[in-house]
Structure 1
Amino acid sequence: MMNDKKKLTLKDIGRELGISVSTVSRALKAHPDIAEETIKLVKEYAETHNYVPNFLAVNFRKNKTFNIGLIVPELVHHFFSTVISGAISEANRQGYNLLVSQSNDILKDEILASRAMLNSSVDGLLISISNETVEGDHLREFLNEGKPVVQFDKITDYLPTPKVIVDDFDGAYSAVKHLIDEGYTRIAHIRGREDVKNSSERCAGYLKAIQDHNLESDPDWVKVCRKISDQEGYDFAKELMESKNPPNAIFCITDLVALGVLRYLKEKGYHIPKDVGLIGFSNWMLSRVSTPQLSTVEQHGFQMGVDATNLLIEMIGNHDVENLKTVEIKTELVIRESTTLSKA
């Protein structure tokens, strides 16, 4: 009889059933060379006796842990949660596990998280950098150990890795052009920090659309968020609408900021979209249930997670840390009630 306190091994199963260890191993994997009766016998015995595969030993022989690290600025965030879902789906499909952490958008926390991932011997890292990260020397530690890194969404060009990004410029341009097509002529932008690339790309798309359509431009109509919060949206909406030259439409860096703007406008009795048009970026769930429903730009976060993970696993398989490929995902304009002036 097996000692219940001892962990059951392939050797134990083979001894109890009178078959070889290799036959047990192949039977558990339902190998076509093994008879159905044997597969059934082995699997039933393993299940009855609570056999747990020793993945660590198997992976050690392959010089892999089959674990991938993933670090995002914030876990409780609609966009990043969809990226994580896509990454988990693709990782599991290819036989990998995903270890997830967050940086809280703070460089110090990102360094701690990345080194914890490195010390846990992940095979590679997926990361959307914090707002404070510029050069990313702590991420070079992975490359120095032969472990690939793939950046996604928020990236730094200082780090020589592949990148999976959204076409932020085109997404912003499309959003502002939609406002212009609806008849809005004085369009403000509540942007993110100047030193964050996706924020800069969205602002550039906004400015190009304004320029291409020869619209009025006012430097005071561009406000810079630091925390990307709904409260900043509320406060900047107050500044914009109480100024001497208020806009009649606002394009926001994210839906969360736009919801703060919406809160202010509704408190002050503005009719949306008749008095003020409003559009966000990200297509958060809340944008679909707000009143009025918020127009926005879909970033396809799930697809980003799939593409980034697939690229990383390919690099792990090829022992490649020099890939500099950039994958760019196109956005999609989502038109809802907050901008449809022609139907108001």
Structure 2
Amino acid sequence: MSDKRRTTLKDIAKALNLSPSTVSRALNGYPSLSEETIQLVKDYAERHNYVPNPIAVNFRKNRTSIIGMIVPHIVHHFFSTTISGAMETAKKNGYSILLAQSYDLLKDEILASQHLLGMGVDGLLISVSNETKEAEHLQAFLDEGKPVVQFDKITDQLEGPKIEVDDFQGAYQAVSHLIRQGYRKIAHLSGRMEVKNAHERFLGYKKALKDHGLEFNEAWVKNCFDISEKEGFDFTQELMESEEKPDAIFCITDLVALGAMNYLKSSDYQIPQQIGLMGFSNWMLSEYTSPSLSSVDQFGTQMGSKAAEILIDLLKKQELGTNETMEVKTELVIRGSSMKS
């Protein structure tokens, strides 16, 4: 290690084969760690002249009562409900929320996180972008003693509390409902398979087909990149112009399902008589389409509220939190687009 630069938390973590957040907790004497680990870290830090970041040193003294929050899209119905839930809980506890959006782009997520960290927020709530694989920009919060709570879309590359939707079960229930309604050739307009929630919904779709003895046809799975209405329209057109047409479509989100519905109606397909349609997220618009759209409710308001509650609790305890994952159960909402009978 070069003597020309200051020893960092990451240097200590790498040398001792620990995570930076564990090193941070050890230096602050967190009781959740063993005395052996705390002493190991403190001894190494002393031998290598580690000088703590002044922001981390003053963490307990310098509070802004402001929480940072980053979501992929503010206007997205699901994320707007998580924002509402988080803000309400924050307000009740004397905190404000400074909001940013990543547009589902890693570069914008990094810029937003750097901006919020520079603004001195006490902690961070985040639903990561579809492009986020590594988490160094989020680790920076933990390195400065600021807790991070992830929700909905998460990365396993960062320690700390996480709140996920039970995407697998939600998809399984949605496809099982379509099967009970008599549909047998069910397509799936999926998301990117490297994104965890999209992959879980795909797995739930496949398991429902298998458990009901139905064929899995790879040609009936289309992967949306932008998760857009246009992709829903275009992929549905592709499916319905193929030799072997599906008789139902399960969509990754309601927005994609809306695009699918627009194509089907423009091509004079009768929904649900000729083809069934199922979304995911239970957007407000789902009630007002014609026919109304069946969907899976993710309970975004409750998720946002719970994420804020966990973060505020960590701030009060002056802790970074353990690597624990909580799961929010979904609920199937049946409407006209999937009810044959």
Structure 2: stretches of 5+ with no match in the other structure = 1-57
For 2:327, the equivalent position in structure 1 comes to 328
Which residue does 1:109 correspond to in 2? 108
Distance in 2 between residues matched to 1:68 and 1:321, nearest whole Å? 14
Cα distance 1:244–1:60, how it changes in 2: closer, same or farther (>3 A)?
Answer: closer
Q: How many angstroms does 1:78 deviate by?
A: 0.4
Number of residue-to-residue matches in the alignment? 284
Asked if 1:220 is matched to 2:219, the reply is: yes
**Whole-angstrom CA distance in 1 between matches of 2:340 and 2:256:** 21
Q: Cα offset for 1:62?
A: 4.6
TM-score between both structures, scaled by the size of structure 2 = 0.82
Identify the residue that residue 278 of structure 1 maps to in structure 2.
277
d(CA) in 2 for partners of 1:322, 1:339 = 42
- The aligned residue for residue 96 of structure 1 is 95
Q: For residues 167-225 of structure 1, give each alpha carbon's deviation from its aligned partner in whole angstroms, at most 9, with x where no partner exists.
A: 00000000000001111011000000011100000000000000111102210000000
| Counterpart contact for 2:102–2:129, Cα < 8 Å | yes
1:66-94 deviations in Å (ceiling 9; x for gaps): 10000000011100000000000000000
SS in 1 for 2:207: helix
Contact 2:209–2:215 (CA under 8 A) maintained in structure 1 = yes
Q: Distance in 2 between matches of 1:135 and 1:161?
A: 15
**Contact 2:60 2:318 (8 Å CA) reproduced:** no
Instruction: Name the counterpart of 1:6.
Output: none
In 1: Cα distance, 2:318 partner to 2:60 partner: 16
Give the CA deviation at 1:318. 1.5
Give the structure 2 partner of residue 237 of structure 1: 236
Is residue 141 of structure 1 aligned with residue 140 of structure 2? yes
Q: Which residue number corresponds to residue 130 of structure 1? A: 129
Deviations 1:96-122 (A, max 9, x none): 000000001111100000010000111
SS at match of 1:238: helix
Cα deviations across residues 5-35 of structure 1 (Å, max 9, x unaligned)? xxxxxxxxxxxxxxxxxxxxxxxxxxxxxxx
In 2, the alpha carbon distance for the partners of 1:322 and 1:175 equals 34
Per the alignment, residue 299 of structure 2 pairs with 300
Given residue 183 of structure 1, which amino acid in structure 2 is its aligned partner?
G
> Within 1, Cα distance between the matches of 2:292 and 2:61?
52
Report the equivalent of 1:187.
186
Question: What amino acid maps onto 1:332 in structure 2?
Answer: E
1:253 equivalent in structure 2: 252
Cross-structure match for 2:85: 86
What is the CA-CA distance between 1:159 and the residue it aligns to? 1.2
CA distance in 2, matches of 1:268, 1:157: 43
Q: In 1, Cα distance between the equivalents of 2:123 and 2:197?
A: 24
Distance 2:271 2:135 in 1: 43
Pairing 1:333-344 to 2, within 5 Å after superposition: 333-342=332-341
Tell me how far apart the structure 2 counterparts of residues 185 and 225 of structure 1 sit (CA, whole Å): 23
In 2, Cα distance between equivalents of 1:328 and 1:319: 24
> Shift of residue 63 of structure 1?
2.5
Deviation at 1:255, TM superposition (A): 0.1
SS in 2 for 1:341: coil
Asked if the contact 2:293–2:336 (Cα under 8 Å) also holds between the matched residues in 1, the reply is yes
1:61 CA drift (Å): 9.2
Distance 1:334 1:292 in 2: 14
Tell me the residue number matched to 1:269.
268
C-alpha displacement of 1:140: 0.2
Q: Once the 2 structures are TM-superposed, how far is the Cα of residue 325 of structure 1 from its aligned partner?
A: 1.8
Local SS of the residue matching 2:188: strand
Name the larger-Rg structure.
1
TM-score between both structures, scaled by the size of structure 1: 0.81
Separation in 1, partners of 2:108, 2:62: 29
- Name the amino acid aligned to 1:341: K
Matched position secondary structure for 1:111: helix
